[in-house]
Structure 1
Amino acid sequence: MALQSEVTTDTLSLLEERLRILDFALNGDQSAADHETQAAAGTSETKGPAIARLKSLERSLQSLAAKSTTVNDVLSLHARHPDLFHVRDSTNLPISLQPASLLSLVLANSQLYLSLSNKLPQLQETSIPDPAQATRMVALGPRIEKALAKQDSQASELADLRLRSARVVESWYESGVLGMGERWADWEERLRAVEIAVRRREAAKKREEAPV
């Protein structure tokens, strides 16, 4: 009886510890602070009878599910498909194929087995990248974000400058090229009118000076 009580206590302690780890993984420092607050308050549920501790675990799990959609989804999945959370013993799996069929299946995939056996040592010999490089890349994250923000700002300024340049060119073309063309046409008309008037006066003067 004492052994059974000890096993029950150890099992509940392991469940409580796993729940605290899960809560910390999902909620971080806030969950740790909550657990410290509960411990400081001297809750007797973690040291009381097994039924009280089990109810406390259920309440904690429900509270965690209310705060985390992931936990809620896992509990819903467990309620609908409980078989997914039970690992089957590979030695008791049902085998519907005859030994001859199993042998032919193994022989048909022998090349695949050989290929996998040759690749596994290569995988074990693959060197793990130096974590210092990853650390430097992570440290460069803020600088990269600032550079991207600066690049976006420069792109916005460049787009504004292009728009202003297009407006300046359009204004210069309208006032400079087209305007000067109209002025030249006006000057040519005036010059032609003056030239005609001068020729008329010269012709009239010649007629006056000519002997009758």
Structure 2
Amino acid sequence: MATSQRTAADTLALLEDRLRRVNYVLNGDSETSEQQPASSATARLRALERSLAQLRNQSPAAAEVLALLKAHPAVFNPSAAETPNLPTNQLTALILAHSQLYTSVSGSLTQLQSTQLPDSAALVKLVDLGPRMERVLARQEKQAREVSELRTRSARVVEQWLEVGMLGMSERWAEWEERLKDVEVVVRRREGVRKREEGVV
């Protein structure tokens, strides 16, 4: 009898402490801690119910949690039927089957714990270089635009040189060739006339 009373008293004390913590988290105060616990377990339980109702009325978050608990009790208190009840030999076989996985995970966690984080000085310098890198990228983009414009202008100059220079010179060469042919014809005619005159004389 004394053991059950002690257990009930301890349970009520734990509930009161949890309620004080929840009240402190939600409201920033611990009004329930100022209340003296009642002598009997029934009175203390009723005081807890009143404090919980007061907390639900004062805090919308607490009201939502209680409504969720009422609508879905299995989320917070899973039934024992849902818990797998396996014999000891099956549990042992299950643990032994995953022993390598446990060892691997343990080794990975140990290695992760012993891994040293890199020095943050390099990261700080890299962050400080951010504006400078942005300026360099902007300059590169500007130079790329200038190079593109120069290529366009160069293509236009080459095209103009081909049209005016090469094609123009080809036309001039053709014109000069025609003139040379005409001059050659005139020279031959004059030579023929001169030869005929010399032969007559």
Q: TM-score range by the shorter chain?
A: 0.5 to 0.7
Report the equivalent of 1:197.
186
After TM superposition, the structure 1 = structure 2 runs for residues 1-212 of structure 1, keeping only pairs within 5 Å, are: 7=20, 10-14=24-28, 54=59, 94-95=83-84, 99-211=88-200
Q: Using a 3 Å threshold, how does the CA distance of structure 1 residues 201 and 95 change in structure 2: closer, same or farther?
A: same
Deviations 1:84-125 (A, max 9, x none): xx7788x99722655544443333332222222222222111
Question: TM-score, with normalisation over the residues of structure 2?
Answer: 0.60
Deviates more, 1:104-113 or 1:157-166: 104-113
TM-score normalised per structure 1: 0.57
Letter in 1 for 2:167: L
Q: Which runs of 5+ in 2 are unaligned?
A: 1-15, 30-53, 62-67
Which residue of structure 2 aligns with residue 24 of structure 1? none
Instruction: Find the aligned partners of 1:168 and 1:201 in 2 and give their Cα distance.
Output: 47
Tell me how far 1:168 sits from its aligned partner.
0.7
| Post-superposition CA distance 1:46-68 (Å, at most 9, x none) | xxx9799647x9xxxxxxxxxxx
Highest CA radius of gyration, 1 or 2? Answer: 2
8 Å Cα contact 1:9-1:50 kept in structure 2 = yes
CA–CA separation in structure 2 for the residues paired with 1:201 and 1:173: 40
**Cα distance between partner residues in 2 of 1:211 and 1:176:** 52
Deviation at 1:175, TM superposition (A): 0.9
How many residues are paired up? 151
CA distance in 2, matches of 1:160, 1:142: 27
Secondary structure of the 2:118 match is coil
Aligned-residue identity in percent: 46
- Measured at CA, do residues 172 and 99 of structure 1 come closer, stay the same or move farther in structure 2, by a change above 3 Å? farther
**Partner residue of 2:8?**
none
Output the aligned Cα RMSD.
3.7
